[in-house]
Amino acid sequence: MLTVQAEAIKPFLQDEYSRADIDRLLEFLERAGTFQFTPLANGLFPAALSLQEDYEYTGYSNVWVRDNVLVSYGLYASGRVKPAVRCLMTLADYFWKYRQRFEDIISGAADPDDPMQRPHIRINGTTLSENAQQWAHAQNDALGYFLWLYCKLIRAGHIPVAQVQPVLLTLFVNYLHAIRFWEDEDNGHWEEAKKIEASSIGTATAGLLELNQLLEQHPELQFSAGSPCEQIDRLEEAITLGRNALEHILPRECIQPDPLKARSHDAALLFLIEPLGIVQGPMADRILADVKEHLLGDYGIRRYIGDSYWCADYKDKLEPEQRTNDFSEDQSSRDKLLSPGEEAQWCIFDPILSIIHGRRFQQSGETKERLAQIHHLHRALAQLTGESSDFGALRCPESYYLVQGRYVPNDITPLLWTQANLLLALHVMRQTSP
């Protein structure tokens, strides 16, 4: 049974939609402030907006590479091109500024086993600089997402080729090859214990594939130092090794024998279907089925079984400064706080499921895909905060978690990543409606 948090959204929920219906809903949510994407002066986006003073402990006023790319993609794919382009160009400036991080790993001067020596993916967006705080920066997925969307925007003509540093593109290839991303243990989407993760391998592979297409379209972007043939060979080899690793691991997230690393189901695998499109067909079907069977909850979707982040009564169990600590080296103390079935249920996934089924409906016209598209859009809309929420009505939470037996939004509300996914889900619903 669908639990709709905001009374104001109920009149908009229908069994079927026309474009006019979606236009009215979009207009209503825009007026309500649901889709505020207020960037920093340089075009980057903080992870969450309008955090109250006592929520500053979350650190979500910082900038994450992954969030920025996926927020930008949601804006771009729903027709808001300029803010997406500006964000990606600023991220390119950041990586160029700290290109020594790539160079030192490639040359062997830095140890990739130390996450602080890798390119930093959680930064001070205002100053476009690294933070000194210890953090789980070994996140190959974040680098893959950037490379994927950056190259896509160049290919589409939104980023002028003349403003692209070919050396930077080559650094991404050489870096991912140097760390052997297809078998590299990284901290992944959830910035937790290192393991070999299909979601990270797939994202990096998708980025390299998009770069390969860009170089075919604009061969002038090939880095001239060394042999261009060698560069292309290295790129193609990395893509092949990434694909082979995916074929070996999927539909699971991690198949390492260590029980603390092995993971059968992880909602991050959905991103390999949408937006990356690197997994399709029967394997995509299997991932969708696994997520719905094992991770779907009444209020959202769990990241994975055993996820202790924002578990039940999280704020009573941890002091503010502890709640968003880097647990990547030892997560056992946090995991002890979790009782089975009390994982937080996230709001970023139902819009993705709606988009996936919407795109399938566009291709097949099958009624079951349309019903699934509408079902998951309704779940996403039901997750918008209610009128009595401390965060205000019609805001997009990161997740719902249990407080004394009742699910409420966690402190990271509104989360821009959720906003962008919901905006795109509505855009796809409009595209697929008469």
The DSSP-derived string for 310-333 is T-TTHHHHS-HHHHT---SS--HH
Tokens coding 411? 């402190």
- Asked whether 288 and 267 are in contact (CB, 8 A), the reply is no
Tokens coding 49? 């907006």
Instruction: State the amino acid at position 196 in one-letter form.
Output: I
Alpha helices in 158-311 (DSSP H): 166-178, 198-217, 228-249, 270-273, 281-294
In a 3-state reduction of DSSP, which class is residue 274?
Answer: coil
- Asked whether 362 and 432 are in contact (CB, 8 A), the reply is yes
H/E run at residue 123 = strand 122-124
Tokens coding 429? 């619903």
- Asked whether 253 and 268 are in contact (CB, 8 A), the reply is yes
Instruction: State the amino acid at position 33 in one-letter form.
Output: G
The span from the CA of 263 to the CA of 258, in Å, is 10
DSSP 415: B
Output the pLDDT for position 71: 98
The span from the CA of 412 to the CA of 410, in Å, is 6
Output the pLDDT for position 300: 98
In a 3-state reduction of DSSP, which class is residue 343?
Answer: coil
CA distances from 18 to 74, 355, 424, 429 (A): 22, 16, 16, 9
The span from the CA of 70 to the CA of 55, in Å, is 23
CA 331 to centroid of chain Cα atoms: 22
Phi, psi of 307 (to 5 degrees): -75, 115
Non-local (6+) Cβ contacts of 338 within 8 A are 306, 307, 308, 311, 312
Phi, psi of 94 (to 5 degrees): -65, -50
Q: Where are the domains of the chain?
A: 1-32+295-434, 39-282
pTM, 2 dp: 0.96
Which CATH class, in words, describes the domain spanning 39-282?
A: mainly alpha
The span from the CA of 302 to the CA of 322, in Å, is 22
DSSP 88: H
Question: Tokens 């009573």 map to which residue?
Answer: 316
DSSP 161: G
User: Nearest CA to 267 among 237, 234, 294, 232?
Assistant: 294
H/E run at residue 153 = helix 140-155
**10-residue block means of pLDDT along the chain (434 residues)?**
94 98 98 96 87 52 93 98 98 98 98 97 95 95 98 98 95 97 98 97 98 94 71 93 98 97 98 98 98 98 97 89 69 90 98 98 98 98 97 97 97 96 98 98
Output the pLDDT for position 52: 46
Output the pLDDT for position 331: 84
Output the pLDDT for position 231: 83
Q: Which residues are registered as beta bridge partners of 195?
A: 186
DSSP 128: T
Output the pLDDT for position 58: 52
- Asked whether 220 and 157 are in contact (CB, 8 A), the reply is no
